[in-house]
C-alpha cells in the first residue's frame, strides 16, 4: 500500500488529550482543535474514542454534497477541507449530514471548520499534528504496509455501515486481524419506523 | 482499503470550483443573459450614439461576464442543497403583508449580511473593516464604470461655462454639474476614491496573507491572485489620474491599455474563482432568516439519543430531503446530535469490533 492515511484505533487510546492540544497548534486553524475525543462510558470505563474526519470517498464527502454554497473543498486526493471563509454561510447542513459527527460550527462567526488532515503539514510530507504526538499510535499516519509492519496483528477497514448504507473513507479504522469484518458499524442501525 | 497513491499537492483545493461537465441549458441561459445585456447597451446608448468605442474591450469583457456568471449560477443552482436554499432564502426575504414585521426583518437581514457583512466583524474586526473597504470600493467603481462603459451615462459640456457639464442618463438630461465645485470634484474623482478604498483594504489582506503561516501555505494561489487583481486595477487607475493631473498626460495611452487589461482579465475571471462569492453569498442572504422563522414555526428537534436540542425541525426536514435527493441513505441519522453519533459509533466499535476494549 502506498497510500498514506490516518489509521484510528480507539482500543489504544488512553484519552490523554495530547492530540486535542496538538491539533490547536496547526497553522491552518490556530487555537482551535478540530479533533473530537469522546468518552463513551465515563465513570465505568477509561475507554476514549478519538474522531477525526474520515474524508469520505464513496459517497464523496456528504458534508460537501449538502453544502448549498459549494464551500467545502475536496482536492484531487480526496482530502476534504474546512469550509471556505468567504462562502460558508454557517447553515449547519454539513454538521448534521456528516455520518461521523465531525464538522464543527462556530455560531458566533457563522463558520464551519473541520479536520483537514493538517493540509499544511501533510502536503509538506509531515505528519498530521494529532498523529505526531499520539503516544500509543491510536492515531497512526502512514501507509497500510507501514501499519502492518509495525502491528502485524491488525487489519485496516475503510468501509462503515450506517443502517443499510455503506460509506467508504480515505482514512481507516484498525480492527483485530482475525475479525471477519466487511464494515465497521457506524452506530446508526435503527430503522426509521422503529423509533416511532 | 483502496490502493491509490497519495501525492499531496501544495496547491490548495478550490472551493466552489466550476462543474466540469458542459451544460447546454446553462449555456443557453448565459447566451440569453448576454443578449439581454447587449440589447440594453444598444438601446441605452441611443443605438450606440453615446457608446465610446475606446471602451469596447471593457464592454466585451462584461458581456462575457454576463455569460459566465449566468452559466455558473444556473449550474450551481442545480445542486439539491443550493436549489432548496435559494428558494427558501428568496421566500424568507420576500416582503409579506405589511405590519407583521417580516419586511423589517428582511431589510435588517439584507443590511446585516450583504451590505454591512457583520458576520465578518464577528470573525475579526480589522478584517471586517478591510473587507468593507474592498466591498464599497468595488461597488462604487461598478456603479460608475458600468453605466459609463455602456453609454448609459455621458457628459456634455454646457456651452460658454468652461467648467459646466450636463449629465445625461439613458439619453435624458438628468443633472447639471460644475466640475470645479465640490460635487463636481467628487464626481470626477469618485473612481480615485474607490481605488483608495480598495487599496487600503487590499493592503491589510496582503499583510494578513503574508503574516499568517497557514494561509501562506494553503491559500496563496486562490486568495492572493484575486486580491492582486483588484489592487492592480486600483493602482493602474490611480496612475491615469496621476498622469493627467501631474504629468500633463505623459504615458497616458500605455497606462490606459494596461489598466484595461487588468480590468478585462478580472471581469473574465469573476465566474470561475473566488470572485464568484460576490454572487453566491447575496443569493443566500435569507437563509439565516429562513432558519429563524423555521424555528418559530416548527420548533426545535431534540436528539433521539440524549434529548438535547439539535436544530430546527424544519431545517432538519429540509436537510433530510436534500440528502434523499443526493442518494445519501442515512438521512434519519440527522435526528441524532453529532456528539451522540460519535458515542454510538464508539459503543458499536466496543461491542462489535474490539470487544475487549473497555
Tens of pLDDT along B209-266? 888 766 544 455 677 889 999 999 999 999 999 999 999 999 999 999 999 999 999 9
Is residue A53, in this structure, part of any structural domain at all? yes
Task: Average the pLDDT over B277-285 and give the result.
Answer: 94
ipTM, 2 dp: 0.94
Q: Do A99 and B330 touch (CB under 8 A)?
A: yes
Is residue A196, in this structure, part of any structural domain at all? no
Contacts with A, B 288-347, CB within 8 Å? 288, 291, 304, 310-311, 315-316, 319, 322-323, 326-330, 332-347
Phi, psi of B240 (to 5 degrees): -65, -40
- With the C-alpha atoms ordered B331, B335, B338, B344, is the resulting torsion angle positive or negative? negative
Judge whether A159 is closer than 8 Å to chain B, CB to CB.
Answer: no
CA–CA distance, B137 with B192 (Å, rounded to integer)? 9
Contact A130, A50 (CB under 8 A): yes
Contact A20, A128 (CB under 8 A): no
Lowest average pLDDT, out of A90-94, B91-95, B163-167, B302-306, goes to B91-95
Distances in whole angstroms, Cα of residue B45 to Cα of each of B32, B84, B289: 20, 39, 40
Q: Based on the domain organization, do B257 and B319 belong to the same domain?
A: no
Which cell numbers hold the place of A104? 464543527
**CATH at residue A181:** 3.30.70.20
Q: What is the mean pLDDT of chain B?
A: 89
| Contacts with B305 from chain A: Cβ below 8 Å | none
Is residue B312, in this structure, part of any structural domain at all? yes
pLDDT tens for A119-152 read: 878 878 889 999 999 999 999 999 999 999 999 9
More confident residue, B281 or B221: B281
Judge whether B90 is closer than 8 Å to chain A, CB to CB.
Answer: no
Lowest average pLDDT, out of A149-163, B112-126, B191-205, B220-234, goes to B220-234
Contacts of B164 (CB under 8 A, 6+ apart): B157, B158, B176, B177, B178, B179
Q: Do A79 and B13 touch (CB under 8 A)?
A: yes
CA–CA distance, B70 with B322 (Å, rounded to integer)? 23
Is residue A195, in this structure, part of any structural domain at all? no
Is residue B189, in this structure, part of any structural domain at all? yes
Domain boundary among B283, B316, B337: B283
More confident residue, B101 or B107: B107
**CA nearest to B136, candidates B66, B57, B199:** B199
Q: Based on the domain organization, do B214 and B304 belong to the same domain?
A: no
pLDDT tens for B307-352 read: 999 999 999 999 999 999 999 999 999 999 999 999 999 989 988 8
Contact A45, B354 (CB under 8 A): no
Into how many domains does chain B fold? 2
**Quick one: closest CA in A to B289, which residue?**
A91
Q: Based on the domain organization, do B191 and B335 belong to the same domain?
A: no
Task: Average the pLDDT over B192-219 and give the result.
Answer: 83
Scan for cell 470561475, then name that residue.
B272
Which pLDDT belongs to residue A125?
84
CA–CA distance, A125 with B217 (Å, rounded to integer)? 13
Which structural domain, as residue segments, surrounds residue A34? 4-188
Q: Based on the domain organization, do B196 and B307 belong to the same domain?
A: no
CA–CA distance, B295 with B164 (Å, rounded to integer)? 58
Is residue A174, in this structure, part of any structural domain at all? yes
Using 50, 70 and 90 to split pLDDT, how confident is the model at B2?
A: very low
| Contacts with A158 from chain B: Cβ below 8 Å | 1-2
| Percent of chain A clearing pLDDT 90 (strictly above) | 71
More confident residue, B125 or A180: B125
Which pLDDT belongs to residue B216?
47
Which structural domain, as residue segments, surrounds residue B157? 24-94+105-283
Which pLDDT belongs to residue B209?
83
Into how many domains does chain A fold? 1
**CA nearest to B34, candidates B53, B72, B52, B60:** B60
**CA nearest to B234, candidates B208, B263, B254:** B263
pLDDT tens for B130-159 read: 999 999 999 999 999 999 999 999 999 998
Tell me A127's DSSP state: P
Is residue A118, in this structure, part of any structural domain at all? yes
Q: Based on the domain organization, do B265 and B331 belong to the same domain?
A: no
Distances in whole angstroms, Cα of residue A190 to Cα of each of A56, B108, B285, B318, B333: 22, 43, 36, 21, 9
Amino acid at each position: 500500500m502506498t497510500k498514506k492515511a490516518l489509521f484510528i484505533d480507539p482500543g489504544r487510546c488512553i484519552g490523554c488529550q495530547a492530540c486535542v492540544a496538538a491539533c490547536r497548534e496547526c497553522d491552518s486553524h490556530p487555537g482551535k482543535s478540530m479533533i473530537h475525543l469522546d468518552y463513551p462510558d465515563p465513570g465505568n470505563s477509561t475507554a476514549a474514542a478519538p474522531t477525526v474526519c474520515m474524508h469520505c470517498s464513496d459517497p464523496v464527502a456528504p458534508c460537501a454534497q449538502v453544502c448549498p454554497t459549494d464551500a467545502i473543498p475536496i482536492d484531487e486526493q480526496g482530502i476534504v477541507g474546512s469550509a471556505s471563509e468567504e462562502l460558508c454561510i454557517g447553515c449547519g447542513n454539513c454538521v448534521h449530514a456528516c455520518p461521523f459527527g465531525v464538522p464543527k460550527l462556530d455560531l458566533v462567526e457563522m463558520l464551519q471548520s473541520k479536520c483537514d488532515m493538517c493540509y499544511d503539514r501533510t502536503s509538506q510530507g509531515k505528519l498530521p499534528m494529532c498523529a505526531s504526538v499520539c503516544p500509543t499510535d491510536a492515531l497512526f499516519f502512514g501507509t497500510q504496509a507501514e501499519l502492518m509492519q509495525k502491528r502485524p496483528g491488525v487489519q485496516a477497514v475503510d468501509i462503515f455501515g450506517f443502517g443499510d448504507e455503506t460509506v467508504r473513507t480515505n482514512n481507516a479504522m484498525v480492527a483485530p486481524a482475525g475479525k471477519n469484518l466487511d464494515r465497521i458499524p457506524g452506530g446508526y442501525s435503527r430503522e426509521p419506523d422503529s423509533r416511532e | 482499503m483502496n490502493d491509490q497513491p497519495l501525492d499531496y499537492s501544495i496547491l490548495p483545493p478550490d472551493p466552489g470550483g466550476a462543474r466540469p461537465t458542459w451544460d447546454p441549458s446553462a449555456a443557453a441561459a448565459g447566451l440569453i443573459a448576454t443578449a439581454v445585456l447587449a440589447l440594453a447597451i444598444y438601446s441605452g446608448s441611443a443605438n450606440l450614439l453615446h457608446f465610446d468605442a475606446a471602451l469596447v474591450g471593457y464592454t466585451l469583457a462584461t458581456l462575457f461576464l454576463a455569460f459566465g456568471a449566468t452559466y455558473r449560477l444556473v449550474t450551481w443552482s442545480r445542486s439539491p442543497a443550493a436549489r432548496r436554499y435559494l428558494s427558501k432564502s428568496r421566500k424568507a426575504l420576500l416582503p409579506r403583508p405589511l405590519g407583521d414585521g417580516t419586511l423589517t426583518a428582511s431589510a435588517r437581514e439584507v443590511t446585516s449580511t450583504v451590505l454591512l457583512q457583520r458576520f465578518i466583524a464577528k470573525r475579526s474586526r480589522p478584517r471586517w473593516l478591510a473587507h468593507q473597504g474592498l466591498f464599497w470600493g468595488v461597488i462604487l467603481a461598478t456603479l460608475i464604470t458600468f453605466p459609463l462603459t455602456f453609454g448609459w451615462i455621458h457628459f456634455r459640456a454646457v456651452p460658454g461655462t468652461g467648467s459646466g457639464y450636463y449629465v445625461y442618463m439613458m439619453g435624458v438630461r438628468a443633472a447639471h454639474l460644475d466640475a470645479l465645485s465640490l460635487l463636481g470634484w467628487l464626481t470626477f474623482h469618485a473612481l480615485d476614491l474607490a481605488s483608495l478604498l480598495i487599496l487600503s483594504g487590499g493592503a491589510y489582506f496582503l499583510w494578513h496573507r503574508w503574516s499568517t503561516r497557514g494561509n501562506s501555505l494553503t491559500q496563496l494561489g486562490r486568495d492572493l491572485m484575486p486580491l492582486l487583481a483588484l489592487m492592480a486595477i486600483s493602482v493602474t487607475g490611480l496612475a491615469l489620474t496621476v498622469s493627467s493631473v501631474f504629468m500633463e498626460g505623459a504615458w497616458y495611452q500605455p497606462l490606459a491599455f494596461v489598466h484595461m487589461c487588468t480590468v478585462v482579465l478580472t471581469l473574465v475571471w469573476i465566474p470561475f474563482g473566488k470572485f464568484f462569492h460576490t454572487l453566491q453569498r447575496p443569493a443566500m442572504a435569507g437563509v439565516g432568516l429562513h432558519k429563524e422563522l423555521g424555528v418559530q414555526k416548527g420548533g426545535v428537534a431534540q436528539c433521539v439519543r440524549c434529548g438535547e436540542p439539535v436544530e430546527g425541525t424544519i431545517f432538519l426536514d429540509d436537510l433530510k430531503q436534500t440528502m434523499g435527493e443526493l442518494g445519501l441513505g442515512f438521512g434519519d441519522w440527522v435526528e441524532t446530535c453529532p456528539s451522540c453519533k460519535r458515542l454510538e459509533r464508539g459503543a458499536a466499535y466496543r461491542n462489535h469490533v474490539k470487544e475487549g476494549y473497555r
